[in-house]
Chain A
Amino acid sequence: GGIITQTPKFLIGQEGQKLTLKCQQNFNHDTMYWYRQDSGKGLRLIYYSITENDLQKGDLSEGYDASREKKSSFSLTVTSAQKNEMAVFLCASSIRGGALEQYFGPGTRLTVL
């Protein structure tokens, strides 16, 4: 088995601040994902990375940057935090071509003051 860790678990920032969320996986999966989950809602894809040197925009990429530093890690940056993007950010991974079966981290809860 494997595990996905996300740091930090809680992130508090000021409006307009640049904030970075980190994700690590030890499944040896090729593909990694970042989702945003607003309170009581479903998941929206922000960015994903099919392999180590790849980066793809999802449906909600505006206002975010992502970086796949190595196979096991995938970071998400909120370029200018806004109060309306307080949410839980979930990282996931899967084998290449195996998006149907993803493994998720516990999430980072973002609060913007």
Chain B
Amino acid sequence: TQTVSQSDAHVTVFEGDSVELRCNYSYGGSIYLSWYIQHHGHGLQFLLKYYSGNPVVQGVNGFEAEFSKSDSSFHLRKASVHWSDSAVYFCAVPNSNNRIFFGDGTQLVVKP
């Protein structure tokens, strides 16, 4: 069974700063990973996924993530955050074709 861990429960940055949210996975064969965002009071919204090929994956709203087999990581980055990026971010890995395992989430707070 594959799992992910998100080491930072909370990250606080200022508007315009760059940010990196960390995700590490446990190895279990083929590696596929995704990131989701959850704004307060809403459901999760899919951001991006790594399936194969280019290890840097582009998502919506300027987010990107880089897959690293050597580090067992799939960190999410954004070059310049906006206040509207304040949300909880979840990393996820499939543990079969039909279900996925979510990390505990990282709360991102963007201060003006």
Contact = CB atoms under 8 A, between A and B. Distances in A.
Interface residues of A, number: 24
A103 B104 contact: no
A78 B49 CA distance: 33
Contact of A99 (B45, B97, B104): B97
Given A42-B90, A43-B90, A97-B97, A102 B46 contact: yes
B44 A104 contact: yes
Contact of B100 (A4, A56, A96, A102): A102
A58 B92 CA distance: 16
Contacts of B92: 100
Contacts of A58: 99
Contacts, number: 56
B44 A48 contact: no
Interface in B24-39: 32-34
Nearest to B107: A40
A110 interface: no
A42 B103 contact: yes
Interface in B43-77: 43-46, 49, 51
B45 to A, nearest CB: 7
A50 B98 contact: yes
- Give the residue among A50, A96, A101, A104 with the most B Cβ atoms within 10 A: A101
Across the A-B interface, the 7 shortest Cβ-Cβ residue pairs: A104-B43, A104-B44, A42-B104, A43-B102, A97-B97, A99-B100, A42-B102
Given A99-B98, A101-B46, 9 more contacts: A4-B43, A31-B98, A42-B90, A42-B103, A42-B104, A48-B99, A99-B96, A100-B32, A101-B34
